[in-house]
Amino acid sequence: MALRDATPDASLPATGQLALPGGPERRRANDGWLDRWASAVSDLTRLKTTHPMMDAVIDEQVGRRIRIGDHWLSDFASCNYLGLDFDPEVIAAVPEYIAKWGTHPSWSRLLGSPKPYIEIEEQMTDLLGCEDVLLLATITHIHMSVIPVLAGEGTIFLDSRAHKTIFDGAMLAAGRGANVVRFRHDDANHLEELLREHGGSPRLIAMDGVNSMTGNAPDVARFQRLAAEHDALLYIDDAHGFGVIGERSPDELCDYGHLGNSIMRHLDVSYDNVVMVAGFSKAYSSLLAFLALPTKLKDALKVLAPPYLFSGPSPVASLATTLAGLQVNRTRGDLYRRDLWQKTHRVLAALDELEIWTPNQSGYPIIEIPLSDHGEIDRVGRFLFDHGIYVTMAAYPLVPKEEVGFRVQVTAANTDEEIEHLIDVLTRVRERFQLRARELTH
Ligand SMILES: Cc1ncc(COP(=O)(O)O)c(C=O)c1O
């Protein structure tokens, strides 16, 4: 799930309190420990257990229509922004690669990488216009293994609303001696104060690109400048920007830009003092992730980042769909992005007419709709489900209480009928429930 909460509940037990499995007393102690974890996230635990839109089994999928039991829904919870998961050219690419490479190379990357890895790294270096690219299986792997290396015993300046996986990487680094200080979300002035206050090196500024909840992008140029001025490294996770936004061009088809080559190119910001991380598991529908980085750092990570040394690599099908996806991106990607832009703007315009407030100011395809009363999340979710709309529920503590609501994600594979269905149901949600009204927030 792509939800974010950088501030885990302080009441969560420390892992040192874990009872060992063993006799009945020990087992009871173990249960108590699990109960404490569950109660620390009780809203989520309850929803997970009782709500049809959480932890669901999807019985069937036809495009963006999904069946759960005998109930068909339009899926607005997918992050497959370009709709490549059902692109015939992408699907057709898979058998040939599997025939050639088998289903899964069981070498870690340090032992050996099938040639498609190298082809993807070369094509990505070209696409992003960066010095080099390193592939690992997931962004989570990257944050957990690379943030501690980059931070060493220096300081991490962590955006207070950074994605949970960045936060966890920073905590791992803290366990190895890094100092972690947090700046207010998106607040470059606060970051600058902290950079002046905390000297030493190395220094790492860790934050999101396109935000996984608001759908908005930070002023990356300002953050990159601060990194350069203060001899720091900007470490930015653009999981939701890659594939969706790209370099601006006079003949672009929409203001997402051209080629989907991510936030740095979209905002025309240099890669100096920057490591950018993103993945293929959203816009490219493939299990693979990457860092855009200097070659010297890439070489170092090959012996320092445990997933490169030890982890199982991405399945061959994902290497194949990534390569096919990159090919589709070159030929038809901008058409998909225009389609995505149009569908997203249709939804945003409808919200505007309905006076439903969303934090989305970017026009990117992540549209969060907060509720006035966080306690209504269960009922609102059921109403959406009953009316055939599947969304991501943003429950506490995945987000702070004042932001509890639901998140709609639009993809190029959603049909116009599904978009109209969504708008119709949102109209009814607006009539029945208290959503955050525009005037409350302005
Ligand atoms: C901003 C962000 N970073 C990282 C991740 C995790 O990515 P991965 O599945 O590649 O580990 C997500 C997924 O939800 C995300 O939204």
For 25-36, write each residue's pLDDT tens digit.
555 656 788 888
C-beta 6 within 6 A of ligand 1: no
Give the Å distances, CA to CA, from 257 to 32, 48, 247, 289. Answer: 52, 38, 5, 22
Q: What's the average model confidence in pLDDT over 129-158? A: 98
C-beta 212 within 6 A of ligand 1: yes
Atom of ligand 1 nearest to the CA of 2: 14
Instruction: Among 163, 207, 322, name the best residue to mutate to test ligand 1's pocket (greatest count of ligand atoms within 8 A of Cβ).
Output: 163
Instruction: Among 140, 147, 286, name the best residue to mutate to test ligand 1's pocket (greatest count of ligand atoms within 8 A of Cβ).
Output: 140
Say what percent of the chain tops pLDDT 90: 84
Please, which pLDDT band fits residue 197 given cuts at 50, 70 and 90? very high
C-beta 127 within 6 A of ligand 1: no
Distance 143 CA to ligand 1 centre (A): 10
* pLDDT score for 6: 37
* pLDDT score for 35: 85
Distance 125 CA to ligand 1 centre (A): 21
* pLDDT score for 26: 58
- Indicate whether 176 pLDDT > 70: yes
For 330-346, write each residue's pLDDT tens digit.
999 999 999 999 999 99
* pLDDT score for 5: 39
Distance 287 CA to ligand 1 centre (A): 11
- Indicate whether 17 pLDDT > 70: no
Residue nearest to atom 3 of ligand 1 (CA): 239
C-beta 279 within 6 A of ligand 1: yes
Find residue 173's DSSP bridge partners.
none
User: Average pLDDT of the chain?
Assistant: 92
CA distance 237 to 300: 20
For 254-264, write each residue's pLDDT tens digit.
999 999 999 99
* pLDDT score for 339: 98
For 381-428, write each residue's pLDDT tens digit.
999 999 999 999 998 888 888 889 999 999 999 999 999 999 999 999
* pLDDT score for 436: 84
* pLDDT score for 7: 39
Q: What's the average model confidence in pLDDT over 85-102? A: 98
Please, which pLDDT band fits residue 24 given cuts at 50, 70 and 90? low
Q: What's the average model confidence in pLDDT over 121-147? A: 98
Q: What's the average model confidence in pLDDT over 83-103? A: 98
Distance 442 CA to ligand 1 centre (A): 31
For 1-13, write each residue's pLDDT tens digit.
334 333 333 333 3
C-beta 288 within 6 A of ligand 1: no
Per-residue three-class SS string for the chain:
CCCCCCCCCCCCCCHHHCCCCCCHHHHHHHHHHHHHHHHHCHHHHHHHHHCCCCCCCCCEEECCEEEECCEEEEECCCCCCCCHHHCHHHHHCHHHHHHHHCCCCCCCCCCCCCHHHHHHHHHHHHHHCCCEEEEECCHHHHHHHHHHHHHCCCEEEEECCCCHHHHHHHHHHHHCCCEEEEECCCCHHHHHHHHHHCCCCCEEEEEECCCCCCCCCCCHHHHHHHHHHCCCEEEEECCCCCCCCCECCCCCCCCCCECCCHHHHHCCCCCCCEEEEEECCCCCCCCCEEEEECHHHHHHHHHHCHHHHHCCCCCHHHHHHHHHHHHHHHHHHHHHHHHHHHHHHHHHHHHHHHCECCCCCCCCCEEEEEECCHHHHHHHHHHHHHCCEECEEECCCCCCHHHCEEEEECCCCCCHHHHHHHHHHHHHHHHHCCECEHHHHC
What strand order describes the sheet that includes 389-390? 60-62, 65-68, 71-75, 389-390
Q: What is the dihedral of CA 414, 420, 422, 428, to 10 degrees?
A: 180
CA distance 248 to 380: 39
Of the two residues 79 and 400, the one the predictor is more confident about is: 79
Say what percent of the chain tops pLDDT 70: 92
Please, which pLDDT band fits residue 45 given cuts at 50, 70 and 90? confident
Q: What's the average model confidence in pLDDT over 267-296? A: 98
Distance 138 CA to ligand 1 centre (A): 8
Report residue 16 CA to chain centroid gap: 30
CA distance 241 to 410: 13
C-beta 139 within 6 A of ligand 1: yes
Of the two residues 85 and 20, the one the predictor is more confident about is: 85
Please, which pLDDT band fits residue 305 given cuts at 50, 70 and 90? very high
- Indicate whether 442 pLDDT > 50: no
Q: What's the average model confidence in pLDDT over 363-389? A: 96
